[in-house]
Structure 1
Amino acid sequence: MKPILGITMGDICGIGPEITVKALLHKETYAMCRPVVIGSAKAVCRALQAIGRDADIHMVEDIQEAVFACGTIDVWDIPAGDPLPPYGQETAQGGKAAYEAIEAAIRLAMAGKIDAVITGPLNKAALHLAGYPYSGHTEIFAEQTGTKKYAMMLADGNLRVVHVSTHVSLREACDRVKKDRVLETITLAQNACRNLGIERPRIAVAGLNPHCGEGGLFGREEIEEISPAIAAAREKGWDVTGPVPPDTVFSKARGGMFDIVVAMYHDQGHIPLKLAGFSYNEEKKSFTSVSGVNITLGLPIIRASVDHGTGFDLAGRGTASEESLQNAMEYGVRLANTRKRAAQEDGAC
């Protein structure tokens, strides 16, 4: 059976609802999976109006009630209040609706009712206005599932990046480059690639400092923390290279030399991924391509997400691209299928 994907729309004041309904109006979506929206049915209706399309809204209280047919959008309704908050604004109402949808999706995934959670973009300020002091999806999923060892992976095509740290200051990010955490992140990268069907992953570990510290002249993290972590990973028999200067490692990975890169902090990994996946057209004053996926590693459930923000300035126009959400759904399917195959093989044994 095709995997069941639970889709949360993110902040309903942003572009999340629009890209969700756009993705669910593609026949190809139903050829690869069985999607159900977990969130406000009113927000789905408003999004359909924004893009000028029609679809039947089928409310479900049990996943087994879903019809999973193109032209019908199955919705596990999470009421968001009446009226809905306006597009393009940070509101406590929008933050509350986003959080409650995520919480419901996690419960369904943990109960085995859905095979993966696919998330739309959140607004952190709206979350905080609603009383949820999280820095993003990753931290919500980790806390709700009781996960202690986790990391964010970004992917666009054959370029994959997993981060030692993400939503902390740059000063704190440097302090977090420690052998144990680097080795933990390498381990998560190794497992992620295996889960994607890459039997012997080629892992590159980026340095922290320019020129990887130039033998200690520009910093000693490579000598004292990163290299020892790489050595420990190699002792496990893994194919790990590094530390590699961060100004060249991503080009090498994009060219096919590596399957995944371990980045030391948020922007070190995000900038090359978004340069690869986002294309801006100055004449049209808009992005013509917004691809890429955000995946949380280490969870007991599968979570994949768009790799862009809420786009409050675009919300309600019906022009936002669903490309990144489609990418996330494809990754969710791939990971769910791999997990199912592994479970079947274990059962056969």
Structure 2
Amino acid sequence: MNKRDSHSSVLDLPLIAVTMGDPASIGPEIVVKALTSGELRDQARVIVSGQSEYLLRALEQAGIPLSGSEGWQVRVVADPAELREEDWQRQVIYVWQDAEESAIAEELRFGCPPQGEISLPAGRLSYIYIEQAHELAMSGKVTAIATAPINKESLRAAAVPYIGHTEILAGLTGTDDPLTVFEVRGLRVFFLTRHVSLRRACDLVTKERIMEMVPRCLRTLEELGVPDSSLAIAGLNPHSGESGLFGWEEVKEIVPAIEQLQKTGYNVVGPIGADSVFHLALIGRYGSVLSLYHDQGHIATKTLDFERTIALTCGMPYLRTSVDHGTALDIAGKNMASAVSMIEAIKLAAKYGPSYRQKYRQ
């Protein structure tokens, strides 16, 4: 973790662009709670891609003081590079001017989004915040981005031609197939398949697919600067099939892929039963796990610690981290949302962003 010691400058900390998420959702609330928590002070500097009016409303609704010696302010800045060390030590949330101006222009066209509701304006603004954070990252002004949640239905209402963050950022960066890895308490999990049916996921467990995925996973670990780049492949069937007793996928597809990968020098082991492989990786036996289908990895990580399970999107010119929860429109504006996941997403962006940016360019 890029913690600042007592002798270094706050300007040495990674600068992270944080999107405000859907302005009608809990996004603004968890952003202001994260930035006023004090937990990021020695780990990251943050510039918000969003709008000051929604951040100020979130501060007020969360009961965070806006005046007096303990009061917080929101300030729009044209260039984060102009902020000095003393600026970062003040109780100020900084918003990037380009994002603010672009969002206001959208509001003039489509109106303001009602809090707690799905709407076209909310979808448009959500997209603008992501687009502006992308521009900050591509210009090199920030090290990485961390995203608050957006609502797929609002995106659709706004005719945004993408269903979520990963697809939006893939389109903006021209990335064909971004790679997602989850991290929670040092446990890292990749996914061979994701949003397909369980039946289809089993059909996709093939030697060819595993041999294509493993090098990508190991390259990603290297880019993130993970010292232990070993990868354990989870079994698909109970007890990894017991030599065909409970299924033949391990015998016919998984083991042949692992053996061939090992012969070519890849640090990969398995298959290891899914009832133990995640625990073994958690205690340090392996650097990461390749989960074979969506729920196999999601259940393991989210049961361990739901709020601190963070998604990292790799394979793009910059690293993106994200909370792994939704917009919770039903509690928007009610001061009920936890900022734990947002805080953790920013911490991981600061932890991995510098190494990722440097090694991706190489």
The answer to whether TM tops 0.5 is yes
Q: State which of 93, 108, 112 in structure 2 corresponds to 1:73.
A: 93
Pairwise CA distance, 1:272? 1.2
Q: Which residue of 2 aligns with 1:295?
A: 312
Q: State which of 336, 347, 354 in structure 2 corresponds to 1:330.
A: 347
Deviations 1:86-123 (A, max 9, x none): 33322222122111211121122112121101001122
Pair 139,262 (structure 1): closer, same or farther in 2 beyond 3 Å: same
Pairwise CA distance, 1:328? 1.2
Pairwise CA distance, 1:176? 3.0
* Residues 91-240 of structure 1 mapped to structure 2, 5 A cutoff: 91-240=119-268
Pair 227,92 (structure 1): closer, same or farther in 2 beyond 3 Å: farther
Pair 170,125 (structure 1): closer, same or farther in 2 beyond 3 Å: farther
Pair 218,32 (structure 1): closer, same or farther in 2 beyond 3 Å: same
Pair 36,186 (structure 1): closer, same or farther in 2 beyond 3 Å: same
Contact 2:113 2:120 in 1 (8 A): no
- In structure 2, how many angstroms separate the alpha carbons of the residues matched to 1:224 and 1:199? 32
Pair 258,15 (structure 1): closer, same or farther in 2 beyond 3 Å: same
Q: How many residues align?
A: 334
Letter paired with 2:241: G
Contact 1:15 1:315 in 2 (8 A): yes
Query: Aligned Cα RMSD in Å?
Result: 2.4
Letter paired with 1:71: Q
- In structure 2, how many angstroms separate the alpha carbons of the residues matched to 1:122 and 1:62? 25
- In structure 1, how many angstroms separate the alpha carbons of the residues matched to 2:128 and 2:173? 15
Pairwise CA distance, 1:65? 4.0
Q: What TM-score does the superposition give when structure 2 sets the normalisation length? A: 0.84
Q: State which of 106, 115, 119 in structure 2 corresponds to 1:87.
A: 115
Letter paired with 2:160: Y
Deviations 1:19-38 (A, max 9, x none): 11111113442322220000
- In structure 2, how many angstroms separate the alpha carbons of the residues matched to 1:324 and 1:166? 21
Q: Which residue of 2 aligns with 1:61?
A: 78
Q: Which residue of 1 aligns with 2:329?
A: 312
Deviations 1:145-198 (A, max 9, x none): 122243211111121111112223333333333334323332233233333433
Pairwise CA distance, 1:74? 0.8
Contact 2:52 2:75 in 1 (8 A): no
Q: State which of 32, 54, 60 in structure 2 corresponds to 1:49.
A: 60
Q: State which of 15, 18, 21 in structure 2 corresponds to 1:7.
A: 18
- In structure 1, how many angstroms separate the alpha carbons of the residues matched to 2:358 and 2:259? 32
Pair 234,8 (structure 1): closer, same or farther in 2 beyond 3 Å: same
SS, match of residue 255 in structure 2: helix
- Greater share of strand: 1
- In structure 1, how many angstroms separate the alpha carbons of the residues matched to 2:270 and 2:161? 36
Letter paired with 1:173: A
Q: Which residue of 2 aligns with 1:283?
A: none
SS, match of residue 312 in structure 2: strand
- Residue 16 (str. 1) matches residue 36 (str. 2): no
Structure showing greater Rg: 2
Aligned identity (percent) is 40
SS, match of residue 32 in structure 1: coil
Gaps of at least 5 residues in structure 2 are: 1-11, 67-71
